[in-house]
Structure 1
């Protein structure tokens, strides 16, 4: 564990980053799910979880965050200790799987930037130039799961370094259609339980029916002249209808059942993989304690 000390008052709000700082950030829904899952599985004595963000920097300066992993840490009022060796080992493992994903910053759970964030940001500044800091409010402080991204720069007086300043940057949560149901549940303040596969499919089908009803209504209104015609929407509807394969009911049932079996196999394999990773993390943590 690498340990450093910091005073809570060292972190300020609002800065004007240099031109090399990221202009905005885009976060995949998978990253948010990973952070929330890590928070639920955190050790009993931990108040928050901290980890590394992986992704790439787009030509326009946008940081595209595609993946994340937790880094074990401990902290007190004036100290923060990160397991740097674990962080490097995890990064090497991710590089073997997807070498295009590089370190772009770090995340923490909680509302806004805390005092100890300065030291952690300094460490990631040695790992990558101009890292971003992503915060996920898993405690629903403002009544929702607030997600914010920050950049930092040094506040100096001459050659003397005074403090690190953080400024919030625009954040784009890129949610794929298949993840919309889960993300809507994530934004809900209270849910009784997570949906199983059947309930998730039922919710998705209900949303699909609602979208189809909206399309029917638009087509009827366009035919009757109640709305202005839009060639782009017409071409999009035509392309969508033409992309639907023409299958007999028996052929459709066979293809549907095959797809369901393939999906169940993928779910089973991913569950085994998650279990193996969880066991490996617990063994690694136990070995460090012993």
Structure 2
């Protein structure tokens, strides 16, 4: 077992709204990985912490694309991290994707705790200006359950007074499939997981809502009720121009072909599961004989 890094908690933690221009962009897979790690945590662990991987964009935005858990233990006045495990995991990730570097760390739970200062100090030695991502796995406040922070020291002369954590803007980057999974993740009770048709129905309903909002905006601009916005106009024009020009018959054929492809995949996967089940039973019978 690797020797952990242990530190004693000192000084309070202060939270302030951010006056910094820093921001973070987080992929949906990062949130899913963190929630999965929390479900698989040891019984005695109250929270899960780990490393955030990604890159810093030219505009200064921290783009978080991956993560891994770092074993730790903590008490009221002490925090211990398995540094060797952290370094081994980072080296393994670098072999797979060298462009993903350490950009910060995460913890489950709502807000910043006193022990977070010690962990943030460690990651400050690993990378300059790391971010701290917190995920309330209960999603008690919806999207606001996920927050990002940067930290700086508040000192008076040579005396360290407190760690100053400032919340920064957070952008959750999700494709439609990720949004469906994220909505399920936020729900406290789910009767069943949606299938492909349920997901398509939900996507179409959202698309109809967006189209209605665009129609209303365009009508308001034409009637003079709303001042025109050139950026919105260009965005609408680009969106319309990107839609392929299909006749109704061609669109119906394309849609039906896609449905048939999906049904064929479902049928093949069902046959594969049946064959595996039969092979297992035959293998068991052969061992008995």
Establish whether TM, by shorter chain, passes 0.5: yes
Q: Pick closer, same or farther for the CA change 1:200–1:264 going to 2, 3 Å.
A: farther
2:276 corresponds in structure 1 to: none
Residue 33 of structure 1: SS of its match in structure 2?
Answer: helix
Aligned counterpart for 2:253 among listed residues 250, 255, 258: 250
Contact 1:15 1:153 in 2 (8 A): no
Residue 119 of structure 1: SS of its match in structure 2?
Answer: helix
| CA shift for structure 1 position 261 | 6.4
TM-score (norm 2): 0.73
Residue 199 of structure 2: SS of its match in structure 1?
Answer: helix
Q: Pick closer, same or farther for the CA change 1:15–1:249 going to 2, 3 Å.
A: closer
Alignment of 1:271-286 (within 5 A): none
1:181 corresponds in structure 2 to: 180
| CA shift for structure 1 position 75 | 1.6
| CA shift for structure 1 position 207 | 1.5
Q: Which has the larger radius of gyration?
A: 2
Q: Which moved more, 1:90-99 or 1:139-148?
A: 139-148
1:3 corresponds in structure 2 to: 5
| CA shift for structure 1 position 165 | 0.6
For structure 2, which runs of at least 5 residues remain unmatched after alignment?
Answer: 269-289
Contact 2:14 2:163 in 1 (8 A): yes
Q: Pick closer, same or farther for the CA change 1:244–1:153 going to 2, 3 Å.
A: same
Contact 1:134 1:147 in 2 (8 A): yes
Residue 10 of structure 1: SS of its match in structure 2?
Answer: coil
Q: Pick closer, same or farther for the CA change 1:13–1:177 going to 2, 3 Å.
A: same
Aligned counterpart for 2:163 among listed residues 157, 162, 165: 165
Contact 1:3 1:79 in 2 (8 A): no
Q: Pick closer, same or farther for the CA change 1:260–1:96 going to 2, 3 Å.
A: farther
1:270 corresponds in structure 2 to: none
Alignment of 1:151-162 (within 5 A): 151-159=150-158, 162=160
Q: Pick closer, same or farther for the CA change 1:173–1:144 going to 2, 3 Å.
A: closer
Cα-to-partner distance string for 1:158-182 (whole Å, 9 max, x where unaligned): 445x355132232222333413333
Partners of 1:158 and 1:217 in 2: how far apart? 59
Contact 2:50 2:69 in 1 (8 A): yes
For structure 1, which runs of at least 5 residues remain unmatched after alignment?
Answer: 266-290
Residue 38 of structure 1: SS of its match in structure 2?
Answer: helix
Q: Pick closer, same or farther for the CA change 1:228–1:134 going to 2, 3 Å.
A: closer
Q: Pick closer, same or farther for the CA change 1:32–1:214 going to 2, 3 Å.
A: same
Cα-to-partner distance string for 1:205-228 (whole Å, 9 max, x where unaligned): 221233334445556x37984766
| CA shift for structure 1 position 131 | 1.0
TM-score (norm 1): 0.72
Cα-to-partner distance string for 1:205-256 (whole Å, 9 max, x where unaligned): 221233334445556x379847669576566555544522523533442245
Contact 1:25 1:169 in 2 (8 A): no
Residue 100 of structure 1: SS of its match in structure 2?
Answer: coil
Q: Pick closer, same or farther for the CA change 1:222–1:151 going to 2, 3 Å.
A: closer
| CA shift for structure 1 position 38 | 1.6
Cα-to-partner distance string for 1:129-164 (whole Å, 9 max, x where unaligned): 11111111224566775222222223445445x355
1:277 corresponds in structure 2 to: none
1:119 corresponds in structure 2 to: 118
- Figure out how many residues of one structure are paired with residues of the other and give that number: 259
Partners of 1:87 and 1:201 in 2: how far apart? 40
Partners of 1:177 and 1:248 in 2: how far apart? 23
Q: Pick closer, same or farther for the CA change 1:214–1:149 going to 2, 3 Å.
A: closer
